[in-house]
Chains A and B, each alone.
Chain A
């Protein structure tokens, strides 16, 4: 069965620090990969997605992620975080051959940015 692992449960950073959140998935075939963000009290929003092509994907709000197929990883990065980036971040995968439209989510990483 497909699964998604997010290594960090809670990350605490100061403003202007660099961010990297880890995400690994278990599936040997073709995948689509997503990072969603959930700000406090708000709905899930898509940060970025990878379907094919350039493995370095740029998303909204200065976030980017790199797909490394050999490592089954899709880590999220931001060079300089802001207090407003405080949120829960979910990595998700949808695999070719998987259940129709079934996004598999990781357990999430809570990011707290100190002003």
Chain B
């Protein structure tokens, strides 16, 4: 299984809602990532988990809260988002967080904040 899966595919939420994005991989990878991609822009790194520990937080606002319950799962908890947070949220995984490893991307969750 060489897939990274993400749910839901689409999410519409109000600014007062709390929701979560989920990501799963069964490749035995020990590094997982959250990226944000705005329309017609490249992905921007948000968080890196290495061996289930948060290793990088790219100055992301606290309304985004990542969680790594185990080595296969990665969640992104959303609370009190702003309309400008609307974007495609991509999850990725790699063998580990070494610079030498390629990252495998999921299909993304398209988030719309009203």
The residue among B40, B45, B102, B107 with the most chain A CB atoms within 10 A of its own CB is: B102
B31-A101 in contact (CB<8A): yes
Distance in angstroms from B51 CB to nearest chain A CB is 11
Count residues of A near B (Cβ-Cβ below 8 Å). 26
Compute the total of residue contacts between A and B using a CB distance below 8 Å. 66
Please state if A101 and B102 are interface contacts (CB–CB under 8 Å).
no
Residue B94 is within 8 A (CB to CB) of chain A in the complex: yes
Contact with A along B87-114 (1 / 0, CB 8 A): 0001000101111111111111000000
Scoring A34, A42, A94, A95 by chain B CB atoms within 10 A of each residue's CB, the highest score goes to A94
CA distance in complex: A90, B27 (Å): 24
Given the interface pairs A45-B105, A46-B104, the reply to whether A101 lies near B42 with Cβ below 8 Å is: no
Contact of A100 with B50 in the complex, beta carbons under 8 Å: yes
Residue contact A101 to B101, C-beta cutoff 8 Å: yes
The listed residue with most A CB atoms (<10 A of its CB), out of B31, B44, B100, is: B100
> Which of A45, A46, A103, A105 is most buried by chain B, counting CB atoms within 10 A of its CB?
A103
The answer to whether A100 and B55 touch (CB under 8 A), given A43-B105, A94-B99, is yes
A106-B50 CB under 8 A given contacts A51-B100, A100-B99, A101-B101: no
Pairwise interchain contact B56-A105, C-beta atoms closer than 8 A: no
Q: In the complex, what distance in Å separates the CA atom of A94 from the CA atom of B33? A: 14
Q: Are B105 and A44 in contact (CB under 8 A)?
A: yes
Option from A45, A46, A51, A100 in Cβ contact (under 8 Å) with B56: A100
A45 to B45, CA, bound (A): 17
In the complex, 26 of the A-B residue pairs with CB atoms within 8 angstroms, ordered by the A residue number, are A34-B102, A43-B108, A44-B90, A49-B102, A51-B100, A90-B43, A94-B100, A95-B99, A97-B99, A98-B99, A99-B48, A100-B48, A100-B55, A100-B97, A100-B98, A101-B50, A101-B56, A101-B97, A101-B101, A102-B45, A102-B56, A102-B99, A105-B44, A108-B40, A108-B41, A108-B42
Q: Would you list the 10 A-B pairs with minimal beta carbon distance, nearest first?
A: A105-B42, A101-B97, A43-B107, A44-B105, A100-B97, A94-B99, A43-B105, A101-B48, A101-B31, A108-B42
